[in-house]
Amino acid sequence: MTSDTQAQTQAQTAGSCCSGSSASAGGCAEAGAVTTVYTVTGMTCGHCEGAVSEEVSALPGISSVTAEAATGKVTVVSAAPLDEEAVRAAVDEAGYELTGRA
């Protein structure tokens, strides 16, 4: 790898907070992104978290979803504000109930 290529690679990865494990933990949001936290009832385990995350992630414009069974909170990062009824329908499809915004 040439020094020019190394410098380009370092510049690309240094500017991206989403290149590591923090992205999956909800630690990174793109500029202009909207973060919304919802309360969902019925989640009791990791499988529940995965089911909710999978359904909500399928909505258009979603960049990340973090569901926490222990707190009942689902944090959604999206490109624009979401239609709460669409989120409610996705949570319902997963078998749980969205009770509103946290």
pLDDT tens-place string over residues 13-58: 333 344 333 333 344 556 789 999 999 999 999 999 999 999 999 9
In the prediction, which pLDDT does 55 show? 98
Nearest CA to 63 out of 50, 53, 51 is that of 53
pTM of the model: 0.71
For range 87-95, the mean pLDDT: 98
- Residue 10, pLDDT score: 37
CA 69 to chain centre: 15
Hey, where are the domains in the chain?
32-101
* Closest to 84 (Cα-Cα) out of 98, 67, 63: 98
Q: Using CA atoms, how far apart are residues 80 and 61, in angstroms rounded to an integer? A: 7
> Any idea which fold 32-101 has?
Alpha-Beta Plaits (3.30.70)
Residue 69: pLDDT above 70? yes
